[in-house]
């Protein structure tokens, strides 16, 4: 597990040069635009909705003393909650909508690493790739939210709250890496087979996702470059795994 996490992280070091070498930047134009627009929409939503959520949180404080302080805390919690949900939604939205554009990128990377594409690869068109991306990410989004809610509740428990933060980050990283790996797996496996493959190599998914999540902490540039670099890194390592199985 730890070894694969490290491999997933190290794959990013050669991603930028590989994209330039294979002239793949043009394929990322629309996905980068999708990432930028989605990030703006989520940011605006977080700013507008944090006060509303904070208002309902503040109503839990029935006493007059400390009301203003609790209201401020409620607004902060509301903003953080919206941003957290926004981050979860962000990665699944851009991964789902970018699927038809990322599959050709992964295919070119595979052709470069292996010398050629085998003829027994699954052939899919634009709409099939889009539907696969939507299906995978709806499934992952549902499971991620299911895990996130109890982890958030654990965060209110002293000491354990620190552990919950780490768990929350790793859960988000896993599903981010999952989506990046599936752009390659889509050509090799059917839906359920891909899920099993990622489960068997979850360390690689987590490693890829860790850097993905860290990129989102970089203002503007992070949300623009996160998909090109993470997909390239995931593709190279996933292809290596497939060649060894």
Listed residue (83, 86, 189) closest to 136, CA to CA: 189
Per-residue pLDDT at 66: 64
Please, which pLDDT band fits residue 15 given cuts at 50, 70 and 90? very high
Pair 226, 25: CB distance under 8 Å: no
C-alpha distances in Å from residue 159, one per residue of 84, 155, 162, 164: 21, 8, 6, 9
Rounded Cα–Cα distance for residues 230 and 238 (Å): 12
Q: Both tokens of residue 44?
A: 């605006």
Pair 71, 58: CB distance under 8 Å: yes
Q: What is the mean pLDDT of the chain?
A: 85
Per-residue pLDDT at 197: 95
Exposed, middle or buried, 31 (CB in 10 Å: 0-12/13-18/19+)? buried
Query: What average pLDDT does range 16-30 have in this prediction?
Result: 91
Query: What average pLDDT does range 67-89 have in this prediction?
Result: 74
Per-residue pLDDT at 19: 94
What count of Cα atoms within 13 Å lies in the side-chain half-sphere of residue 68? 0
Per-residue pLDDT at 67: 66
**Structural domain boundaries in the chain:** 2-28+99-243
Q: Both tokens of residue 114?
A: 């292996």
Per-residue pLDDT at 208: 96
Per-residue pLDDT at 199: 94
CA 71 from centre of chain: 32
At 30-65, the pLDDT tens digits run: 988 998 898 888 778 777 776 666 666 666 666 666
> Among 26-30, 75-79, 133-137, 212-216, which is the least confidently predicted range?
75-79
**Residue 119: in which H helix or E strand, if any?**
none
Phi and psi, residue 157, nearest 5°: -90, 125
Determine how many CB atoms are found less than 10 A away from the CB of residue 200.
11
Higher pLDDT among residues 40 and 206, named by residue:
206
Listed residue (167, 177, 173, 162) closest to 147, CA to CA: 167
Rounded Cα–Cα distance for residues 183 and 231 (Å): 8
At 167-194, the pLDDT tens digits run: 989 999 999 999 999 999 998 888 899 9
Coil, helix or strand for 7? helix
Per-residue pLDDT at 51: 65
At 93-127, the pLDDT tens digits run: 999 999 889 888 998 999 998 886 554 566 677 78
Kindly tell me if the per-residue pLDDT of 200 is higher than 90.
Answer: yes
Q: Sign of dihedral through CA atoms 160, 161, 165, 171?
A: positive
At 147-170, the pLDDT tens digits run: 988 887 787 777 777 788 889 899
Q: Both tokens of residue 118?
A: 């085998």
């Amino acid at each position: 597990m730890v070894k694969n996490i490290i491999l997933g992280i190290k794959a990013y070091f050669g991603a930028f040069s590989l994209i330039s070498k294979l002239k793949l930047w043009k394929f990322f134009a629309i996905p980068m635009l999708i990432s930028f627009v989605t990030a703006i929409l989520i940011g605006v939503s977080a700013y507008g909705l944090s006060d509303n959520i904070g208002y309902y949180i503040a109503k839990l404080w029935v006493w007059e003393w400390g009301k203003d302080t609790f209201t401020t805390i409620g607004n902060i919690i509301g903003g953080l909650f919206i941003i957290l949900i926004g981050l979860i939604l962000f990665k699944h939205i851009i991964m789902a909508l970018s699927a038809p554009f990322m599959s050709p990128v992964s295919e070119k990377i595979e052709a470069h690493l292996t010398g050629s594409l085998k003829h027994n690869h699954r052939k899919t068109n634009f709409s099939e790739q889009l539907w696969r991306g939507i299906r995978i990410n709806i499934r992952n989004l549902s499971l991620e939210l299911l895990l996130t809610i109890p982890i958030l509740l654990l965060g209110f428990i002293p000491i354990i709250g620190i552990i919950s933060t780490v768990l929350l980050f790793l859960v988000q990283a896993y599903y981010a890496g999952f989506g990046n790996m599936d752009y390659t797996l889509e050509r090799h496996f059917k839906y359920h087979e891909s899920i099993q493959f990622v489960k068997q190599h979850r360390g690689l998914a987590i490693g890829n996702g860790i850097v993905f999540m860290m990129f989102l902490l970089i203002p503007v540039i992070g949300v623009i470059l996160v998909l090109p670099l993470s997909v390239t890194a995931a593709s190279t390592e996933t292809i290596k795994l497939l060649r060894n199985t």
